[in-house]
Structure 1
Amino acid sequence: MGKRKKSSRKPSAPRKKETLETNFTCLFCHHDKSVSVRINRKEGVAQLLCKVCDQRYQSKANHLTEPIDIYSEWIDAADAAEKEASSSRRPVASSSRPRAPSIGSDDE
């Protein structure tokens, strides 16, 4: 008994590594590919900048951080800031009962 013969296959070419985007759409001015992300891994800082409306965001970065991570953090931070601003603008709570007519009013 002998060994089984394997079919001769050509070695497959190495897969191309897909690069992730570094330019995104701005949340404030809605221009496509106007937001660029730069990561300085030596200093551990990532910067996001919109070329049109000059919006900026800065965050900490590590060796695993990718530009999409910084963009996602910016979206979350903008949502949190908007939520905080809307909660501070809420009017003072009032009762649901109608106001009692003041004495001496000529409404009746």
Structure 2
Amino acid sequence: MGKRKKSSRKPTGPRRKEPLETAFTCLFCHHDKSVTVRMDRKEGIAQLFCKVCDQRYQSKANHLTEPIDIYSEWIDAADAAENQAATTARRPAASSSRSHPSAVFGSDDE
């Protein structure tokens, strides 16, 4: 039996935790890092707002919620609202207010 080769892997130890983003790009005005999230975990509320165009969004939050989660919810809610508006705009009316042309089969002059 031969000897085991030494591994070139780094020693396993505590990993450094990368901080998550806290400033985001606005969906409406497209300014970078203009959207921030305020979290009130005690009250269970998270508020997102844009410093430039003053767009706002509010959602429920718990002890596991992060600002990126609220930003993602905002994106989903904006997409859903846009899809709903597009659906109602394309939906045809149930009835028409136009009168139907009356059919003329013959005239009284004949």
CA distances 1:15-54 after superposition (whole Å, capped 9, x unpaired): 3321111100000000000000111100000000000000
Note closer, same or farther for the CA distance 1:102–1:57 as it changes in structure 2 (3 Å cut): same
For the structure 1 residues 91 and 14, does the alpha-carbon distance in structure 2 shift closer, same or farther, using more than 3 Å as the test? Answer: closer
TM-score (norm 1): 0.72
- Matched residues in 2 for 1:34 and 1:75: separation? 15
Query: Structure 1 regions of 5+ residues with no counterpart?
Result: 1-10, 94-100
Q: Please, what is the CA RMSD of the aligned residues?
A: 2.3
Corresponding position: 1:83 with 2:83: yes
Match of 1:96 in 2: none
The number of residue pairs the alignment matches comes to 89
The whole-number CA distance in structure 1 between the counterparts of 2:27 and 2:68 is 14
CA offsets 1:68-105 (integer angstroms, 9 cap, x no match): 00000000000000000011111527xxxxxxx9879x
- Percent identity, please: 77
Ranges in structure 2 where 5+ consecutive residues have no aligned partner: 1-10, 94-100, 105-110
The TM-score normalised by the length of structure 2 is 0.70
Q: Which residue does the alignment assign to 1:55?
A: 55
